[in-house]
Chains A and B, each alone.
Chain A
């Protein structure tokens, strides 16, 4: 079942009453989440991701706009009638109930025609537990489980009533690094098996990129870009999206276009492209866009070589660099690294890894590289 958000807006009264006014947590969201996909809402803290999730779940009422589940308007439907399963960031497992009772909890709420017998409840709970592989832990209390196991119980509890939509609020943030990798694969697997339309919220771009069919990048309550993770990574619409996606982050420089050539400082780094108007721009270069090349056009001050597992990265410096860290990080082929003792290092650049952004609006300036 698909989910359509139509001009969805949520404003809260300002928490600081003296300031008054309202805070817009979600501003004019207008997009469709296709049936059976895993969609990641991605953005820094406070960008309105969780609010969006709460709006979809029905825990919050939108100020404006409408929400459709599979074509039917659910905007005024309370949370319990929407058929959503929600996994909370803190899992919200009832501490006094066993795993089995926690998973059964939503089923015991069913009344009327949906009412289940004890046996049906137990078998459905066991089924959900098996799906997340916690069926040996049914008699334990949440406090006797590890973080990862609690997470699975929370997912099982959300899945047991076979929801139309599964919502996950920062599901991995309370897990350690290794468990996070494992659990995100698990979420992907469960989603594939159940084919439930799933929306999950995260501030970790790597997490979102790795398992999502689609990502929605958000900032300050605004939707910046929506698309397949790789498409958004390769083709960001603005500087924020470019900077938000990718580890190590994209390297940003102040540059300018002059006489049809792209400058960073004094270096001409690109020549044959189709932009003619002279202007100041942000030049953003992905770490994998650098190729060490003694004859390359882009000269940087050599820093150090870092070898992290399979990655070899060169840390270098440039006066026009605008990275928060103050250093340029490029991921290169170990074979290309030649002279490390020199003070300077020269790079040639892969043109499609070089992105230009308007200095004022920070919007993307697209260009074509002419061959030859």
Chain B
């Protein structure tokens, strides 16, 4: 009886296991193998030898170093900042009554808008053309500043646009999650705090924040993972030749290695993918440890 029960369980799981195995686990495993096969060629299915050469090549490739640096900057700036901004906007949204739905819709628009379309809008805002310096530069000029070339100019300017854009794109989802988290905090806690004469900041710090902290951790963890995998946003702003723009990311580097102009190096791409995997895994584990530590302390 127990045995047939177990068999049945496996049988029900079979479709999922099969699909996951074929389309997730096997490719993952394969990538891992490729990353140790030197000079693997798709067409001939051949390689020169095995070893860690792919890794040493990738880690010494200046384009990869640049991509790594860009990715880390994007992650470190956008994840905390977007979470914080989303929290403020959510708090604002949940404390107003009139027009709340309108604001919610407005804040949610970027989520339903295509990345490339949004990228186009940002080009108009930031790009210098023969006719205009872009809307943002017009504003800068208005306050007496010099025009900055945000798209093809200095690295800091490009990175600023990149982070600004990333934050703007990830905000809606975070606002959505946080407003529902805020709404799920029982009103009675606030009534209790009110009767006890608790000041607003203390209410936020002592009641609201601990109550929604699981959601905040969820957003930080998924935010980190998402930001490490950034690529399409960069393409939307700076075009497909990210290496020459100096704005490539790790995923962009992997893509270029597979299909880009310089393409056809699946071994290097695999090695870079494994490096990314290890980074994301490490950061996520650290996140989980931190959130557990905070959870048990408070």
Could you list which residues of chain A lie within 8 angstroms of chain B, going by C-beta atoms?
A: 57-59, 78-81, 84-86, 88, 90, 92, 94-97, 105-106, 108-110, 157, 161
Report how far A84 CA is from B211 CA in the complex, Å: 25
Q: Tell me which residues across on chain B come within 8 A of A57, comparing CB atoms.
A: 195
B: number of interface residues (CB 8 Å) = 18
Q: Which applies to chain A's interface (DSSP): helix, strand, loop or mixed?
A: loop
Contact: B196 with A161, CB < 8 Å?
yes
If over half of B's interface residues share one DSSP class (helix, strand or loop), that class is named, otherwise mixed; here it is helix
CA distance A81 to B197 in the complex (A): 7
A33 CB to nearest chain B CB (Å): 18
Interchain CA distance A96-B211 in the complex, whole Å: 8
B8 at the interface (CB under 8 A from A): no
Which 3 residue pairs are nearest across A and B when measured between Cβ atoms? A80-B197, A106-B196, A92-B192
By the criterion CB–CB under 8 Å, are B197 and A105 in contact? no
B142: Cβ under 8 A from any A Cβ: no
Q: B169-202: contact bitstring with A at CB < 8 Å (1 yes, 0 no)?
A: 0000000000000000010110111111111001
Of A79, A85, A88, A92, most B-chain CB atoms within 10 Å: A92
Taking a contact as CB atoms under 8 Å apart, the answer to whether A109 and B188 are in contact is no
Contact, CB under 8 Å: B196 / A105: yes
Q: Is B62 an interface residue (CB 8 A)?
A: no
Query: What separation, in Å, do the CA atoms of A94 and B211 have in the docked complex?
Result: 9
Contact A88 B196 (CB under 8 A): no
Complex CA gap A106/B198 in Å reads 7
Q: Decide if B195 touches A58 in the complex (CB within 8 Å).
A: yes
Cα distance A108–B203 when bound, in Å?
Answer: 12
Write the chain A residue with the least CB distance to B196. Answer: A106
**What is the CB-to-nearest-CB distance from A140 to chain B, in angstroms, rounded to a whole number?**
14
* B298 CB within 8 Å of chain A: yes
Q: Is B210 in the interface zone, CB < 8 Å from A? A: yes
Interface contact B191-A109, CB-CB below 8 Å: no
| Residues of B close to A110: CB separation below 8 A | 197
Contacting residues, chain B, for A80 (C-beta < 8 A): 194-198
Q: Which residues of B contact A88 (CB under 8 A)?
A: 188, 191-192
Contact status B192-A109, CB under 8 Å = no
Q: Tell me the bound Cα distance from A110 to B298 in angstroms.
A: 22
With A94-B207, A96-B211, A96-B298 already in contact, the answer to whether A109 and B197 are too (CB < 8 A) is yes
B residues neighboring A (CB under 8 Å): 186, 188-189, 191-199, 202, 206-207, 210-211, 298
Whether B189 contacts A84 by the Cβ 8 Å rule is no
Q: Is the CB of B202 within 8 A of A79?
A: no
| Nearest A residue (CB) for B210 | A96
A79 vs B198: C-alpha distance when bound (angstroms): 11
In the complex, residue of chain A having the shortest beta-carbon distance to the beta carbon of B295: A96
Q: Which residue of the partner chain, among B189, B196, B298, contacts A109 with CB atoms under 8 Å? A: B196
Contact of B191 among A59, A78, A81, A96 (CB under 8 A): A59
New contact pairs (16) apart from A78-B194, A92-B188, A105-B206, CB-CB < 8 Å? A59-B191, A84-B195, A86-B191, A86-B192, A86-B195, A88-B191, A92-B186, A94-B189, A94-B207, A96-B298, A105-B193, A105-B196, A106-B196, A106-B197, A109-B199, A110-B197
B residues within 8 A CB of A95? 211
**A58 to B199 CA separation, bound complex (whole angstroms):** 16
**Contact pick for A90, options B188, B206, B207, CB 8 Å:** B188
Known contacts A94-B207, A96-B210, A96-B211: A79-B186 contact under CB 8 Å:
no
Q: How far is the CA of A79 from the CA of B196 in the complex (A)?
A: 8
Q: How far is the CA of A109 from the CA of B197 in the complex (A)?
A: 6
Name the distance in Å between A210's Cβ and chain B's nearest Cβ.
Answer: 27
Q: Which residues of A contact B206 (CB under 8 A)?
A: 94, 97, 105
- In the complex the two chains form, what is the Cα distance from A108 to B206 in whole Å? 11
Instruction: Report the bound CA distance from A110 to B202 in whole Å.
Output: 12
Query: What is the CB-to-nearest-CB distance from A147 to chain B, in angstroms, rounded to a whole number?
Result: 16
In the complex, the answer to whether B188 meets A59 with C-beta atoms within 8 Å is no
**Smallest beta-carbon distance B144→chain A, Å:** 45
CB pair B196 A92 closer than 8 Å: no
CA distance A187 to B196 in the complex (A): 21
User: B198 near A109 (CB under 8 angstroms)?
Assistant: yes
CB distance from A16 to the nearest CB of B (A): 18
Q: How far is the CA of A96 from the CA of B296 in the complex (A)?
A: 10
Q: Complex: how many Å from CA A194 to CA B189?
A: 25
On whether the beta carbons of A92 and B189 are closer than 8 Å, the reply is: yes
Q: Are A59 and B196 in contact (CB under 8 A)?
A: no
Complex interface: chain B residues within 8 A of A90 (CB): 186, 188
